[in-house]
Each structure stands twice: as structure tokens, then as C-alpha cells.
Amino acid sequence: MTVIDANRMHEIETRYPEYFHRSFRQRFGGLMILIATLLYSLYAVWFFDLPKLFAEAHWERVGIYLSQWVSYDVQPEFRIGDDGSIDIRYPRFSPLGDNPHPDWLVNNPDGSITISISGTSHTVTVSKTETIVTAHGISVPVDVSSGAPEVVGPVPGWMTVYDDNVLADLGFAGNVSISVDRVKIRKRFIGWANFIFDTQSSFFDKPVGEVVSLIVSGARIKPEQSNLSLAFDDIWNNSEWQHGDVWTKLFQTIVMAFLGTLLGALTAFPLAFLAARNITPNRLLNQILKRFFDFLRSVDMLIWALFLTRAFGPGPLAGSGAIFLTETGTLGKLYSEGLENIDNKPREGIKSTGAQTVLVHRYGIMPQIVPVFVSQTLYQWESNVRGATIIGAVGAGGIGLKLWEAMRTNANWENVAYMVILILIVVFIFDTASNALRHRLMGTKTH
């Protein structure tokens, strides 16, 4: 066991004072940060009233929206006449077309109709006097012969009785609403209905083999147009999915991002040389330009889009202008800071030879900054592809406006899913291409 005397101890304290004479911040800084974080979290919970928000949130809508993203429904309505006849009606724009005869709907010999909601486990049989709902292993008759529908026997948990109708919730498969004179059914299918050809197309509801045969070697459906051209027109002008309009708006978004970023970079590049202190030794001009950059980027792109749509009207011009103004400020700041951090030795060496200012910039500065500038610009371009989608929702054109219109109806969530997937694909492609170009310019390898 080694004993350290007082002199040795004093020598150690003198040599390593940071371990023996720590300040209050050093000793309790971590604990204070932890306490401050906990207090702020409690304040945020109180300020936003999170318990109430979570309690009153419509969590059931999450499942509804997700199910509508990946499926579609058919809503036949069965009207019961006084003579006992049952009239089948479909909505005007039914996914099944104008004259549907689905195989999941069977006319029985006794005049009733049986509808298969989900195979044989979930069925509905409609007759003049009663409707029988079979689900979850039991059959529940609903008497409709009197003034109000009445469930015969015990009411299961998946069925709700109201004053004038009975609602049977069959989960993802659909639901059934039963009243005295009509039965409304919602039957859900996995997939996107009529994604290729809508109900007005000459190719609608034809097997794939028949469609291919018509396009390749079949007789012309319209004498003045080839079947290949007709098929393309039907896909491009699909009234339900609006492929032509969606892809045109997506291209507008890409062009908005490219044009706004390009113009911003071209404007910011010369201004950055004037804003950099080591390039332009004029402090007043430096400060004016830097504050100008701060002003442009402090106003969010969305706010610029709102201003410009009021000035020029809705459209991609306002979107490109909003991106241009924001990128001039952002890239101007990045470029000027990059210039201020260059190595001055190459520049001074070229200047000592008596070269003109343009040549000093060309050979002393440009080789150092071009890879960095291009990398920053590519990153901003990729980011602006996403930003252009957002500003489109306020009228600045592009697919953002189309996406907002589909969401606002609260009924076309499969169209929303389609556009979101397209945006994700475009962002992924641009992100991959931008990363590859940046790594190539910077001389680094991708993993």
C-alpha cells in the first residue's frame, strides 16, 4: 500500500487542477441539464395539453385511412318495393361500371338476394321481410316487415341498433346498413380499382391477354386510331386516377425545384464574392449583403409562395420564384462562408505573380470551392424537390396542389397514396443521384 504525503498530494493537485478544483458547472452541469430537460418536458405536456389531445384523438381514422390507401369499396343499395321486388342500384361512378353483374351477388329462387361480403364467412341475404347477416360464426336475422328494423334475438357486439336502422360492422370486409325499405352494403376489395383503364375505356374489364392481343394484332376499335394509341389515351386520360394530370403536375414540381435552385445559385454565386470579407475588403458591403441573405432565408419558402401567388396568381411561376428567393439567401450564406474559409496561400501565390483579379479567383479560389459549392447546391436541389411539393398546396402549382385537392375531399385516399408513392420515388431517385454526384465531386467513395 502506497502512502502519499501532503507535499506529494499538493504537487498532484497543482499539476492536475482540473480534477481537484472543478467548477460548479463541471460538477453539476450534467445533472442540471437532465433536470432542465425533465422540467421542459413537463411544461410541454401541460402547454399542449397532451393527455386531453391523446384522449380525444380520432385514432379509429388511422385504420380507415390506411385501409382506403390499399383498397377500394363497392356500395350497392337494395331497395325493397311494396310488391316485394328488390331493385339493385349502384352509385353513379361505381368502380364496377354502368351495368355490373358481380359474381359475389346471387339471385336466389325464392326472390331473395345473397351478397358475399367476405367469402362464405360474411354474407348478407336480403328479402322482402327480413335481412339475415352472417358473420363471426353466427347468423342474425333483422325483421324489416314493421315500421322499424328489429333484430331477432340477442344483438351481437359487432351490430348497433338505432331508431331507424341497424348497422353491422364487419371490419375490413365492409359494413351493412339495414332500414325498412333499403339495405346499403359496403364491400371492400384489396387493390386499386380501374388503375389502368376506367369504366369509360373500350378496354375496361377485359382480361390482360385480350387487351394485349387487341393492342398487338386486333382489329381497330376506332377506325381513325390505332389500338395502341387508344390504349395510351385511355390510360393517360383515366378519369378516376387522372394519370396525365398527376404526371404533368409531378413534372412541374421537378421543374420548379430545378429552375428555382438554378436561378438561386446563379444569383448567389457572384454576390457571395462581394459578401466574403477576405475577397471584398469592404465591411459595409459585406454586412449589407449578409443581412440581405439573412432576410431572404428568414422568410420561409411557404410564405414567399403565399406572397407570389397573390402577385402572379396560382401556378408554377410563383413556386419557382419562392424557391429562387429562398435559395438566393441560403446559398448566398453558404457560398460566402465557404469563401471565407478557403486557404489563402494559393491565392496569394498567384497574386504575387502579378496576375489579374479574375485569374487570381479562377486559379487560386475556384479549385478549392467548386466541389463544395456544387455539393451544397445539389443538396439544396434535392431538398427543394420536397419543398416544392409543400408550397404547391398553397397554390404554387405542381403535385402539391393536386395532393391537397385529393385530401380535402376526404374520400380519395387511394389517389393520395398513389401521389405520395410517386413523390417518394422521385425524392429517392434525386437523393440517390445527388449523393452519387456529391461523392464523385468530393472524391469520396459511397458505401
**pLDDT one-digit tens code per residue, 264-314:** 999 999 999 899 888 888 889 999 999 999 999 888 898 999 899 888 888
Confidence of residue 439 (pLDDT cuts 50, 70, 90): confident
pLDDT digits (tens, 9 = 90+) for 392-420: 888 787 888 888 888 887 777 899 999 99
Note whether 311 and 392 are same-domain residues: yes
Note whether 39 and 119 are same-domain residues: no
Give 240's contacts (C-beta < 8 A, 6+ positions apart): 93, 95, 193, 194, 198, 199
Residue 235 lies in a domain: no
The span from the CA of 407 to the CA of 213, in Å, is 38
Note whether 318 and 380 are same-domain residues: yes
Measured between its terminal Cα atoms, the distance across the chain in Å is: 54
pLDDT digits (tens, 9 = 90+) for 267-277: 999 999 899 88
Confidence of residue 124 (pLDDT cuts 50, 70, 90): very high
Confidence of residue 447 (pLDDT cuts 50, 70, 90): low
5-14, 27-36, 209-218: which range is least confident on average? 5-14
Confidence of residue 2 (pLDDT cuts 50, 70, 90): low
Is residue 75 scored above 60 in pLDDT?
A: yes
The span from the CA of 394 to the CA of 321, in Å, is 14
Count of CB atoms within 10 A of residue 127's CB? 20
Task: Note whether 122 and 116 are within 8 A (CB).
Answer: yes
Note whether 180 and 286 are same-domain residues: no
Q: Which three cell numbers stand for residue 390?
A: 409543400
Note whether 320 and 403 are same-domain residues: yes
The radius of gyration of the chain's CA atoms, rounded to the nearest angstrom, is 34
Is residue 4 scored above 80 in pLDDT?
A: no
The residue type found at 361 is H
Q: Which three cell numbers stand for residue 268?
A: 448567389
Is residue 327 scored above 80 in pLDDT?
A: yes
Is residue 18 scored above 70 in pLDDT?
A: no
Note whether 430 and 295 are same-domain residues: yes
Task: Note whether 318 and 395 are within 8 A (CB).
Answer: yes
Instruction: Please count the structural domains in the chain.
Output: 3
Note whether 185 and 37 are same-domain residues: no
Note whether 341 and 293 are same-domain residues: yes
Residue 334 lies in a domain: yes
Residue 224 lies in a domain: no
Confidence of residue 131 (pLDDT cuts 50, 70, 90): very high
The span from the CA of 235 to the CA of 242, in Å, is 8
12-21, 108-117, 132-141, 153-162: which range is least confident on average? 12-21
**Res 235: pLDDT:** 94
Confidence of residue 339 (pLDDT cuts 50, 70, 90): confident
Nearest CA-CA partner of 144 in 132, 153, 154:
132
Q: Given 190, 225, 254, which residue is the final one in a domain?
A: 190
Q: Which three cell numbers stand for residue 395?
A: 397554390
Note whether 102 and 161 are same-domain residues: yes
**Res 390: pLDDT:** 86
Note whether 263 and 303 are same-domain residues: yes
CATH no. for residue 348? 1.10.3720.10
Percent of the chain at pLDDT > 70 equals 94
pLDDT digits (tens, 9 = 90+) for 415-435: 999 999 999 998 888 888 888
Length of the chain: 447
- Domain of 144 in residue numbering reads as 73-190
Note whether 43 and 85 are same-domain residues: no
Residue 420 lies in a domain: yes
